[in-house]
Chains A and B, each alone.
Chain A
Amino acid sequence: MTPLLRVEKLKITFPKGTGHSVPVDGVSFSIDRGERVALVGESGSGKSLTSLALLRLVPEPGRIAPETSIQLDGIDIMGLKGEALRALRGGRIGLVFQDPMTSLNPVLTVGYQVKEAVTAHHSMPAGQAKDRTIGLLEEVGIPDPIARYRAYPHELSGGLRQRVMIAIALGGEPDLLVADEPTTALDVTVQAQILELLDGLRTKRNMALLLITHDLGVVAERTDRVMVMYAGQLVETAPTRTLFAAPGHPYTQALLRSMPRLTGPITRLPQIMGAVPQPYAWPAGCRFHPRCEHCIDACTSQAPPWRSAGPEQEAKCWVVEGRAP
């Protein structure tokens, strides 16, 4: 089966002084229809830029390098222009951002904004568009959708605004929903509602979900496969259960160890030394080597290859040892 989305050698550059910084550097992955994939990373890892690149929304003066290939269901996204590119954005690929307050237009009603997304991709009579909009508001769990149709964003709570954002993202009937930290700005009890909603919608519509997050708890509970990003590159990909049971890359291992948890013994947290590097000063060799406790000579000078770390599990590391399947 061909994957729904295939990204190859994604590289994003920004001018910096006389040279360039490369916040995303050679990222390749694919997503199947209906699959739930997490892209995990810390701030500055390049995960958000990666998601924006899928819609060709990399902010100026950033550029996607020419060697990059992004294919959605056979469509060459890198070759799209004008109308075709607009049809992709919010059409085949829906996008939900972290902050629902700044992503919604404060002077337009909720109904207007959702209807705009509905009619942008499928022309239909006004009455039908309104019905579909109210149907979408209902589908994303907004109580009293007929009244809320006329509400302005500031009249809604953070959780309801995020539901409106999801309704907008669904307006074009996407095959892939990209959710960039969709619950980070929300309280934990509201986060649980939104994650539940996203999961339900995905199953019902058989959409693929690319969930971009820094929260490993969310990853564990809501995804089938994980891609870990560090310093502009993917460093590990694995089925979610495998990743948490036996992380392959030393970065993933350290990250999981250093997380405070609600269960288990309370001990001093093992910490990762140092700080996340900056995109204009990636370390040579393996980009994690200055913080890695397993660092050997090769790590300091040569970029590591992908190695099998277990069944369907790969890590970009010189020292990782594969386990027998």
Chain B
Amino acid sequence: MTGLIEVRDLVKHFESRSGWFQTPKKVHALNGVSFDVATGETLALVGESGSGKTTAGRTVLRLIDADQGSVRFDGIDVLGADRRALKALRRRIQIVFQDPYGSLDPRMTVGASVAEGIEIHRLLAKPAIGPRVAELLSEVGLDPSAAAKYPHEFSGGQRQRIGIARALAVDPAFIVLDEPVSALDVSVQAQVLNLLLDLQQSRGLSYLFIAHDLSVVRAVAHRIAVMYYGRIVEQGPRDEVLERPRHPYTTALISAIPVPDPTTQRTRIVLPGDPPSPTVHPPGCPFASRCFHPAKNQRCATDRPELVAHGASLVACHHA
């Protein structure tokens, strides 16, 4: 399958120093991540903190430089792009951040924030910018009068709408959504999720939806990739992954989510321990130390499982 975005074997290691005189530790944020996102499609990248999902999203935009691997957008090499090519690419690829409080400049009016991309890329003549900003604000469900106000005058949900309008301003084809609703109140989450779905419909957008909450992901994603320890351990169509998970970590992650229905009695898998520290590099399956699979054996501790096709999914487990 060819995607609008094709990501292959991304590797990113950071160095982290815990003290002045200590040798730096290697943090393996991405250990060979590959995925595609087709036009009009949403791929959800799901994982716990430290799984590498945020690093993956930022590497695709070159907000972080990858050590190895390739990213192609519409056939164009993103990681090898020079300054000019990169600027052109950033008109097509945008990002919306988690924190609607930290991601808007508090000293800029909302109108100026939304117009910034249009001005940088010289998409419109000056007199046309104001009306365009008004259009964009209405498109995300805000009153055009918002343009003259400052971010602090808005609630979290409204600020997230402003962030979305800002991303839409340059007319992108692909948007990385980095935990776009996890800082929002439950009653506002649905508004923003519905807005994202509507925009995808009307503009044919592709999304990389980075999230930790599988219930939210279920509402918006076409396909799901589950990350653990800098790798994708399972990837497939939404219902396949959620209803027939094949990797024990996916099973545990789904089972750990509290269900808002006191009448369902579920058998909960409570995983022992914490997600592994990304500075430790076990030779075998990174999930082996917490794994509950009955067939778990010596091979899991020594042999790293690769992603293998099982039905419509790809799964990295010796016993899938």
Query: Which residues of A come within 8 Å of B, CB atoms?
Result: 42-43, 157-160, 187-193, 195-196, 214-222, 240-241, 244-245, 254-256, 258-263, 266, 268-273, 275-276, 291
Contact = CB atoms under 8 A, between A and B. Distances in A.
Given A258-B190, A259-B215, 13 more contacts: A42-B185, A188-B213, A189-B48, A189-B252, A216-B260, A260-B189, A260-B193, A262-B215, A262-B218, A266-B218, A266-B219, A271-B187, A275-B156
Contacts of B157: 275
A276 B187 contact: yes
17 contacts: A187-B49, A192-B255, A193-B270, A214-B186, A215-B258, A217-B258, A221-B259, A258-B186, A258-B189, A260-B216, A261-B218, A262-B257, A272-B188, A272-B190, A272-B191, A276-B187, A291-B187
Contacts of B193: 260, 269
Contact of B261 (A157, A218, A220): A220
B159 to A, nearest CB: 10
B275 A217 contact: no
A191 B262 contact: no
Interface string B296-309: 00000000000000
Given A187-B275, A261-B218, A244 B270 contact: no
A255 B191 CA distance: 12
B260 A219 contact: yes
A295 B188 CA distance: 20
Contacts of A217: 257-260
B190 A276 contact: no
Interface string B19-32: 00000000000000
Interface size bracket, B side: 35 or more
B260 A261 contact: yes
B301 to A, nearest CB: 20
Nearest to A257: B190
Nearest to A267: B219
B199 interface: no
B274 A159 contact: yes
B189 to A, nearest CB: 7
Given A42-B185, A258-B189, A196 B270 contact: yes
B256 A188 contact: yes
Contact of A255 (B156, B187, B271): B187
Contacts of B215: 259-262
B242 interface: yes
A189 B275 contact: yes
Interface string B268-279: 101110110000
B235 interface: no
A67 B91 CA distance: 59
A193 B216 CA distance: 22
Contacts of B188: 272, 275-276
B166 interface: no
Contacts of A219: 260
Nearest to B157: A275
Nearest to B220: A260
Contacts of A245: 263
B187 A258 contact: yes
A301 B275 CA distance: 52
A256 B260 contact: yes
A244 B185 contact: no
Contacts of A241: 262-263
Interface centre among A218, A260, A271 (most CB of B within 10 A): A260
Given A188-B48, A261-B260, A263-B259, A157 B185 contact: no
Given A260-B215, A262-B242, A214 B190 contact: no
Contacts of A196: 268, 270
A216 B258 CA distance: 8
A276 B185 contact: yes
B185 A271 contact: no
Given A187-B49, A262-B242, A220 B260 contact: yes
Contacts of B260: 216-217, 219-220, 244, 256, 259, 261
B197 interface: yes
Nearest to A194: B270
Contact of B254 (A240, A262, A291): A262
B186 A191 contact: no
